[in-house]
Amino acid sequence: MISLRPPLDGIRVLELGSSVAGPAAGRLLADLGADVLKVESDEGDGLRTWGPPAADGTSWWFKSHNRNKRFVKFDLHDEADRATVREIALRCDVVLENFRPGRLDAWGLGYESLRAENPRIVYASISGYGQDGPYRDRVGFGNIAESMSGLRYITGYPDRPPVRIGISLADELAALYCVVGIQAALLARERDGVGDYVDISLLESSFALTQGMLPEYDALGIVRERSGNMHNAVAPSNIYPTRDGKYIAIGANANSLFRRFAAAMGRPELAEDPRFRGNRERTEHGVEIDATIAEWTRTLDVAEIARILAEAHVPSGPVYSVAEIVADAQVQARGVVRHVEDDAGNRVATTAPVPRFRAHPTVLDHAARSVGADTAEVLQELGIAGERDMKIGGRS
Protein backbone atom coordinates (compact mmCIF):
# COMPACT_ATOMS: atom_id res chain seq x y z
CA MET A 1 0.00 0.00 0.00
CA ILE A 2 1.22 3.52 -0.83
CA SER A 3 2.43 5.44 2.21
CA LEU A 4 0.27 8.55 2.45
CA ARG A 5 0.85 11.72 4.44
CA PRO A 6 -1.50 13.09 7.12
CA PRO A 7 -4.49 14.97 5.62
CA LEU A 8 -3.22 18.48 6.48
CA ASP A 9 0.49 17.81 5.99
CA GLY A 10 2.03 20.86 4.33
CA ILE A 11 -0.42 23.32 5.90
CA ARG A 12 1.22 25.82 8.24
CA VAL A 13 -0.88 27.41 11.00
CA LEU A 14 0.01 30.35 13.23
CA GLU A 15 -1.87 30.06 16.53
CA LEU A 16 -2.34 33.36 18.34
CA GLY A 17 -4.59 31.82 20.94
CA SER A 18 -4.76 31.13 24.65
CA SER A 19 -6.84 29.20 27.17
CA VAL A 20 -9.22 26.65 25.63
CA ALA A 21 -11.05 27.41 22.36
CA GLY A 22 -8.27 28.69 20.09
CA PRO A 23 -5.67 26.17 21.27
CA ALA A 24 -8.24 23.34 20.99
CA ALA A 25 -8.73 24.23 17.32
CA GLY A 26 -4.96 24.33 16.90
CA ARG A 27 -4.65 20.90 18.49
CA LEU A 28 -7.21 19.39 16.12
CA LEU A 29 -5.39 20.85 13.11
CA ALA A 30 -2.07 19.53 14.42
CA ASP A 31 -3.60 16.07 14.92
CA LEU A 32 -4.47 16.13 11.21
CA GLY A 33 -0.88 16.93 10.27
CA ALA A 34 -0.76 20.72 10.12
CA ASP A 35 2.40 22.44 11.37
CA VAL A 36 0.94 24.56 14.17
CA LEU A 37 3.16 27.34 15.52
CA LYS A 38 1.87 28.47 18.91
CA VAL A 39 2.87 31.98 19.99
CA GLU A 40 3.31 32.70 23.70
CA SER A 41 4.83 35.56 25.66
CA ASP A 42 7.38 35.00 28.45
CA GLU A 43 4.77 33.94 31.00
CA GLY A 44 3.10 31.54 28.58
CA ASP A 45 -0.52 30.69 27.95
CA GLY A 46 -2.61 31.02 31.14
CA LEU A 47 -3.81 27.44 30.73
CA ARG A 48 -0.31 26.31 31.74
CA THR A 49 -1.40 27.00 35.35
CA TRP A 50 -4.90 25.46 35.22
CA GLY A 51 -5.31 22.26 37.21
CA PRO A 52 -2.78 19.97 38.92
CA PRO A 53 0.79 20.62 37.70
CA ALA A 54 3.62 18.32 36.65
CA ALA A 55 7.06 18.70 38.25
CA ASP A 56 7.92 21.55 35.86
CA GLY A 57 4.89 23.55 37.04
CA THR A 58 2.89 23.18 33.82
CA SER A 59 -0.56 21.66 34.14
CA TRP A 60 -1.20 18.18 32.81
CA TRP A 61 -4.22 19.58 30.98
CA PHE A 62 -2.06 22.05 29.06
CA LYS A 63 0.44 19.35 28.10
CA SER A 64 -2.29 17.25 26.50
CA HIS A 65 -4.38 20.17 25.18
CA ASN A 66 -1.45 21.58 23.18
CA ARG A 67 0.11 18.39 21.86
CA ASN A 68 1.84 18.18 18.47
CA LYS A 69 2.52 21.94 18.22
CA ARG A 70 5.73 23.93 17.93
CA PHE A 71 6.21 26.71 20.48
CA VAL A 72 7.57 30.15 19.68
CA LYS A 73 8.03 33.04 22.10
CA PHE A 74 7.08 36.60 21.19
CA ASP A 75 5.55 39.46 23.15
CA LEU A 76 2.73 40.92 21.06
CA HIS A 77 2.92 44.10 23.14
CA ASP A 78 6.42 44.66 21.74
CA GLU A 79 6.56 46.37 18.34
CA ALA A 80 9.62 44.48 17.11
CA ASP A 81 8.15 41.14 18.15
CA ARG A 82 4.87 42.01 16.42
CA ALA A 83 6.78 42.74 13.23
CA THR A 84 8.39 39.31 13.40
CA VAL A 85 5.07 37.60 14.11
CA ARG A 86 3.65 39.39 11.08
CA GLU A 87 6.43 37.99 8.91
CA ILE A 88 5.64 34.52 10.20
CA ALA A 89 1.90 35.04 9.59
CA LEU A 90 2.50 36.01 5.96
CA ARG A 91 4.32 32.70 5.44
CA CYS A 92 1.41 30.67 6.87
CA ASP A 93 -1.67 29.16 5.27
CA VAL A 94 -3.84 29.79 8.34
CA VAL A 95 -3.86 32.32 11.17
CA LEU A 96 -5.94 31.19 14.16
CA GLU A 97 -6.73 33.60 16.99
CA ASN A 98 -9.09 34.07 19.92
CA PHE A 99 -8.35 37.62 21.02
CA ARG A 100 -11.13 40.13 21.60
CA PRO A 101 -12.39 41.53 18.27
CA GLY A 102 -10.23 44.36 16.95
CA ARG A 103 -7.19 43.67 19.14
CA LEU A 104 -5.06 42.15 16.39
CA ASP A 105 -6.22 44.75 13.86
CA ALA A 106 -4.74 47.42 16.12
CA TRP A 107 -1.46 45.52 16.16
CA GLY A 108 -1.23 45.15 12.38
CA LEU A 109 -2.03 41.44 12.59
CA GLY A 110 -5.68 41.54 11.47
CA TYR A 111 -7.18 39.80 8.47
CA GLU A 112 -7.42 42.76 6.11
CA SER A 113 -3.82 43.81 6.73
CA LEU A 114 -2.47 40.28 6.14
CA ARG A 115 -4.79 39.59 3.21
CA ALA A 116 -3.47 42.67 1.41
CA GLU A 117 -0.08 40.95 1.17
CA ASN A 118 -1.24 37.33 1.07
CA PRO A 119 -4.69 36.95 -0.55
CA ARG A 120 -4.54 33.17 -0.04
CA ILE A 121 -4.44 33.38 3.75
CA VAL A 122 -7.22 31.73 5.75
CA TYR A 123 -7.87 33.68 8.94
CA ALA A 124 -9.99 32.23 11.75
CA SER A 125 -11.21 34.17 14.78
CA ILE A 126 -12.96 32.72 17.81
CA SER A 127 -14.66 35.22 20.11
CA GLY A 128 -17.48 35.29 22.62
CA TYR A 129 -20.13 36.85 20.41
CA GLY A 130 -18.68 37.23 16.91
CA GLN A 131 -16.97 40.05 15.06
CA ASP A 132 -19.99 42.35 14.88
CA GLY A 133 -23.21 43.11 16.74
CA PRO A 134 -23.84 45.01 19.99
CA TYR A 135 -21.93 42.48 22.15
CA ARG A 136 -18.86 42.40 19.87
CA ASP A 137 -16.56 44.08 22.40
CA ARG A 138 -17.70 42.13 25.46
CA VAL A 139 -15.32 39.62 27.00
CA GLY A 140 -16.73 36.18 26.26
CA PHE A 141 -16.05 32.96 28.16
CA GLY A 142 -17.38 29.45 27.62
CA ASN A 143 -19.49 29.39 30.77
CA ILE A 144 -21.22 32.61 29.66
CA ALA A 145 -21.90 31.21 26.19
CA GLU A 146 -23.30 27.98 27.62
CA SER A 147 -25.62 30.03 29.83
CA MET A 148 -26.78 32.50 27.18
CA SER A 149 -27.23 29.83 24.50
CA GLY A 150 -29.80 27.91 26.56
CA LEU A 151 -27.58 24.90 27.23
CA ARG A 152 -27.42 25.47 30.97
CA TYR A 153 -31.08 26.48 31.16
CA ILE A 154 -32.06 22.95 30.17
CA THR A 155 -29.32 21.19 32.16
CA GLY A 156 -30.25 19.89 35.60
CA TYR A 157 -33.45 19.00 37.44
CA PRO A 158 -36.67 21.03 37.28
CA ASP A 159 -36.70 21.76 41.01
CA ARG A 160 -33.06 22.90 41.14
CA PRO A 161 -30.97 25.71 39.59
CA PRO A 162 -29.24 25.19 36.23
CA VAL A 163 -25.90 23.39 36.47
CA ARG A 164 -22.66 23.52 34.52
CA ILE A 165 -21.92 20.68 32.16
CA GLY A 166 -18.60 19.62 33.74
CA ILE A 167 -16.20 20.57 30.94
CA SER A 168 -15.57 23.65 28.78
CA LEU A 169 -18.17 22.52 26.27
CA ALA A 170 -18.69 25.87 24.51
CA ASP A 171 -14.96 26.23 23.90
CA GLU A 172 -14.62 22.73 22.48
CA LEU A 173 -17.69 23.23 20.27
CA ALA A 174 -16.29 26.50 18.95
CA ALA A 175 -13.00 24.75 18.21
CA LEU A 176 -14.77 22.03 16.24
CA TYR A 177 -16.79 24.52 14.19
CA CYS A 178 -13.62 26.55 13.66
CA VAL A 179 -11.73 23.58 12.25
CA VAL A 180 -14.67 22.75 9.96
CA GLY A 181 -14.60 26.35 8.72
CA ILE A 182 -10.82 26.35 8.21
CA GLN A 183 -10.90 23.11 6.26
CA ALA A 184 -13.77 24.37 4.09
CA ALA A 185 -11.89 27.62 3.42
CA LEU A 186 -8.72 25.72 2.50
CA LEU A 187 -10.69 23.52 0.11
CA ALA A 188 -12.39 26.56 -1.45
CA ARG A 189 -8.98 28.23 -1.79
CA GLU A 190 -7.83 25.39 -4.04
CA ARG A 191 -10.86 26.04 -6.25
CA ASP A 192 -11.00 29.84 -6.17
CA GLY A 193 -7.41 30.86 -5.48
CA VAL A 194 -8.21 33.09 -2.49
CA GLY A 195 -8.50 32.57 1.24
CA ASP A 196 -11.29 33.69 3.55
CA TYR A 197 -12.17 34.90 7.02
CA VAL A 198 -13.76 32.37 9.41
CA ASP A 199 -15.79 34.05 12.18
CA ILE A 200 -16.67 31.75 15.10
CA SER A 201 -18.77 32.76 18.11
CA LEU A 202 -18.86 30.79 21.36
CA LEU A 203 -22.51 31.79 21.76
CA GLU A 204 -23.54 30.66 18.27
CA SER A 205 -21.53 27.43 18.50
CA SER A 206 -23.41 26.51 21.68
CA PHE A 207 -26.81 27.60 20.39
CA ALA A 208 -26.27 25.49 17.25
CA LEU A 209 -26.19 22.41 19.51
CA THR A 210 -29.68 22.89 20.94
CA GLN A 211 -31.39 20.61 18.41
CA GLY A 212 -35.19 20.97 18.52
CA MET A 213 -35.38 23.83 21.01
CA LEU A 214 -35.60 26.61 18.41
CA PRO A 215 -38.09 25.13 15.92
CA GLU A 216 -40.34 23.96 18.78
CA TYR A 217 -40.36 27.45 20.26
CA ASP A 218 -40.84 29.17 16.91
CA ALA A 219 -43.68 26.92 15.75
CA LEU A 220 -45.41 26.06 19.02
CA GLY A 221 -44.19 28.53 21.64
CA ILE A 222 -42.68 25.70 23.69
CA VAL A 223 -39.90 26.74 26.06
CA ARG A 224 -37.99 23.60 26.91
CA GLU A 225 -37.31 23.25 30.64
CA ARG A 226 -34.94 21.17 32.73
CA SER A 227 -35.99 17.55 32.91
CA GLY A 228 -33.16 15.91 34.80
CA ASN A 229 -32.04 12.72 33.10
CA MET A 230 -35.34 12.15 31.32
CA HIS A 231 -35.51 12.91 27.61
CA ASN A 232 -38.31 15.28 26.68
CA ALA A 233 -39.07 13.63 23.33
CA VAL A 234 -38.31 9.92 23.61
CA ALA A 235 -38.68 7.19 26.26
CA PRO A 236 -37.24 5.25 27.81
CA SER A 237 -33.91 7.06 27.66
CA ASN A 238 -32.39 7.62 31.07
CA ILE A 239 -29.83 6.40 33.60
CA TYR A 240 -30.89 3.88 36.21
CA PRO A 241 -29.46 2.72 39.59
CA THR A 242 -27.98 -0.76 39.90
CA ARG A 243 -27.57 -3.18 42.79
CA ASP A 244 -23.84 -2.45 43.16
CA GLY A 245 -24.37 1.27 43.66
CA LYS A 246 -23.59 2.30 40.09
CA TYR A 247 -25.68 3.66 37.22
CA ILE A 248 -26.41 2.41 33.72
CA ALA A 249 -27.68 4.36 30.72
CA ILE A 250 -30.39 2.65 28.69
CA GLY A 251 -31.95 3.82 25.45
CA ALA A 252 -34.89 1.75 24.22
CA ASN A 253 -37.12 4.39 22.65
CA ALA A 254 -37.91 2.80 19.27
CA ASN A 255 -40.87 0.41 19.38
CA SER A 256 -38.80 -2.60 18.26
CA LEU A 257 -36.14 -1.76 20.85
CA PHE A 258 -38.69 -1.42 23.59
CA ARG A 259 -40.19 -4.82 22.77
CA ARG A 260 -36.75 -6.44 23.04
CA PHE A 261 -36.03 -4.51 26.22
CA ALA A 262 -39.30 -5.55 27.86
CA ALA A 263 -38.59 -9.18 27.02
CA ALA A 264 -35.02 -8.89 28.39
CA MET A 265 -36.44 -7.59 31.67
CA GLY A 266 -38.82 -10.57 31.79
CA ARG A 267 -41.75 -8.17 31.32
CA PRO A 268 -42.86 -8.67 27.68
CA GLU A 269 -46.38 -7.50 28.57
CA LEU A 270 -45.09 -3.93 28.99
CA ALA A 271 -44.79 -3.58 25.22
CA GLU A 272 -48.55 -4.16 24.93
CA ASP A 273 -49.51 -1.82 27.77
CA PRO A 274 -51.49 1.09 26.23
CA ARG A 275 -49.33 3.54 28.24
CA PHE A 276 -46.14 2.23 26.61
CA ARG A 277 -47.26 1.03 23.18
CA GLY A 278 -45.66 3.88 21.19
CA ASN A 279 -43.02 6.54 21.79
CA ARG A 280 -45.53 9.33 22.40
CA GLU A 281 -47.33 7.26 24.99
CA ARG A 282 -44.08 6.22 26.66
CA THR A 283 -42.90 9.85 26.78
CA GLU A 284 -46.20 10.97 28.35
CA HIS A 285 -45.80 8.24 30.98
CA GLY A 286 -42.04 8.63 31.38
CA VAL A 287 -42.10 8.74 35.17
CA GLU A 288 -44.01 5.47 35.37
CA ILE A 289 -41.88 3.63 32.85
CA ASP A 290 -38.65 4.81 34.47
CA ALA A 291 -39.87 3.63 37.86
CA THR A 292 -40.62 0.20 36.40
CA ILE A 293 -37.18 -0.02 34.78
CA ALA A 294 -35.39 1.14 37.95
CA GLU A 295 -37.23 -1.54 39.88
CA TRP A 296 -35.55 -4.10 37.62
CA THR A 297 -32.08 -2.53 37.44
CA ARG A 298 -31.83 -2.34 41.23
CA THR A 299 -31.93 -6.14 41.37
CA LEU A 300 -28.77 -6.63 39.27
CA ASP A 301 -25.18 -5.40 39.11
CA VAL A 302 -24.26 -3.02 36.30
CA ALA A 303 -22.10 -5.56 34.43
CA GLU A 304 -24.91 -8.13 34.41
CA ILE A 305 -27.43 -5.61 33.05
CA ALA A 306 -24.99 -4.54 30.34
CA ARG A 307 -24.49 -8.22 29.34
CA ILE A 308 -28.22 -8.98 29.23
CA LEU A 309 -29.02 -5.91 27.16
CA ALA A 310 -26.06 -6.43 24.80
CA GLU A 311 -27.35 -9.94 24.09
CA ALA A 312 -30.82 -8.48 23.47
CA HIS A 313 -29.36 -5.78 21.16
CA VAL A 314 -30.66 -2.99 23.38
CA PRO A 315 -28.35 0.06 23.68
CA SER A 316 -26.92 0.46 27.17
CA GLY A 317 -23.71 1.42 28.91
CA PRO A 318 -22.39 2.08 32.41
CA VAL A 319 -21.97 5.65 33.65
CA TYR A 320 -18.18 5.71 33.85
CA SER A 321 -15.67 7.72 35.83
CA VAL A 322 -12.39 8.49 34.07
CA ALA A 323 -10.78 5.56 35.89
CA GLU A 324 -13.44 3.19 34.56
CA ILE A 325 -13.29 4.39 30.96
CA VAL A 326 -9.51 3.99 30.91
CA ALA A 327 -9.97 0.35 32.00
CA ASP A 328 -12.77 -0.39 29.51
CA ALA A 329 -12.10 -3.22 27.05
CA GLN A 330 -13.35 -1.30 24.00
CA VAL A 331 -11.27 1.76 24.85
CA GLN A 332 -8.20 -0.41 25.33
CA ALA A 333 -8.77 -2.40 22.14
CA ARG A 334 -9.06 0.79 20.07
CA GLY A 335 -6.03 2.39 21.71
CA VAL A 336 -8.03 5.45 22.73
CA VAL A 337 -5.65 6.29 25.59
CA ARG A 338 -2.18 7.18 24.31
CA HIS A 339 0.97 8.60 25.90
CA VAL A 340 3.34 11.24 24.57
CA GLU A 341 6.37 12.97 26.08
CA ASP A 342 7.13 16.66 26.47
CA ASP A 343 10.62 18.16 26.20
CA ALA A 344 11.15 17.62 29.94
CA GLY A 345 10.56 13.89 29.60
CA ASN A 346 7.13 13.91 31.28
CA ARG A 347 4.93 11.05 30.07
CA VAL A 348 1.53 12.60 29.35
CA ALA A 349 -1.71 10.68 28.84
CA THR A 350 -3.87 11.96 26.01
CA THR A 351 -6.67 10.72 23.78
CA ALA A 352 -6.12 9.33 20.30
CA PRO A 353 -6.82 11.78 17.46
CA VAL A 354 -10.39 11.95 16.17
CA PRO A 355 -11.36 11.24 13.41
CA ARG A 356 -9.52 8.12 12.28
CA PHE A 357 -8.77 7.45 8.64
CA ARG A 358 -8.23 4.19 6.78
CA ALA A 359 -5.57 5.50 4.39
CA HIS A 360 -4.14 8.70 5.86
CA PRO A 361 -2.29 8.75 9.19
CA THR A 362 -2.95 11.27 11.94
CA VAL A 363 -0.27 12.73 14.19
CA LEU A 364 0.51 12.03 17.83
CA ASP A 365 4.09 13.12 18.25
CA HIS A 366 4.69 14.99 21.50
CA ALA A 367 3.03 16.79 24.39
CA ALA A 368 3.18 20.55 24.84
CA ARG A 369 6.71 21.86 25.14
CA SER A 370 8.20 24.68 27.19
CA VAL A 371 7.61 28.33 26.29
CA GLY A 372 9.59 29.27 23.17
CA ALA A 373 11.16 25.84 22.75
CA ASP A 374 11.04 26.02 18.95
CA THR A 375 11.54 29.75 18.32
CA ALA A 376 15.02 29.66 16.80
CA GLU A 377 14.24 26.60 14.69
CA VAL A 378 11.06 28.14 13.25
CA LEU A 379 12.69 31.49 12.45
CA GLN A 380 15.58 29.80 10.69
CA GLU A 381 13.25 27.50 8.80
CA LEU A 382 11.15 30.44 7.56
CA GLY A 383 14.17 32.54 6.66
CA ILE A 384 13.44 35.15 9.32
CA ALA A 385 16.32 34.42 11.70
CA GLY A 386 18.56 37.13 10.32
CA GLU A 387 15.87 39.76 10.66
CA ARG A 388 15.72 39.65 14.47
CA ASP A 389 18.16 39.70 17.33
CA MET A 390 18.01 36.17 18.74
CA LYS A 391 17.66 37.37 22.34
CA ILE A 392 13.96 36.47 22.11
CA GLY A 393 14.58 33.00 23.49
CA GLY A 394 14.05 29.44 22.45
CA ARG A 395 16.68 26.90 21.43
CA SER A 396 19.92 28.23 20.00
Report the DSSP pairing between strands 70-73 and 35-40: parallel
Residue 320, Cα to own-chain centre: how many angstroms?
Answer: 19
User: Which listed residue (31, 45, 171, 342) is catalytic?
Assistant: 171
Rounded average pLDDT per 10-residue block, the chain, 396 residues: 88 96 98 98 95 93 97 97 98 97 96 98 98 95 95 94 93 98 98 98 97 95 92 91 97 94 96 93 94 97 97 97 96 97 94 96 96 96 71 37
For strand 197-201 and strand 122-127, is the pairing parallel, antiparallel, or unpaired? parallel
Residue 338, φ and ψ in degrees, nearest 5: -120, 170
Q: Give the DSSP H/E element, type plus range, for residue 117.
A: helix 111-117
The pTM assigned to this predicted structure is 0.93
Strand ranges (DSSP E) for the chain?
A: 12-16, 35-40, 70-73, 94-97, 122-127, 197-201, 237-241, 247-251, 316-318, 337-341, 347-351
Handedness of CA 94, 100, 102, 104 (dihedral sign): negative
Query: For residue 319, what are the β-bridge partners?
Result: none
Among the listed residues 238, 237, 235, 240, the one whose alpha carbon sits nearest the alpha carbon of residue 284: 235
What is the structure's pLDDT at 395? 32
Domains identified in the chain and CATH numbers: 12-209+333-392 (3.40.50.10540), 237-241+247-318 (3.30.1540.10)
CB neighbours of residue 333 within 10 Å: 8
- Distance (Å, whole) CA 59 – CA 47: 7
Which residues, 6 or more positions from 185, have their beta carbon under 8 angstroms from its beta carbon?
A: 122, 124, 195, 196, 198
pLDDT of residue 390: 43
What pLDDT shows up at residue 396? Answer: 29
pLDDT of residue 129: 97
pLDDT at 71: 98
Annotated catalytic residue 171? yes
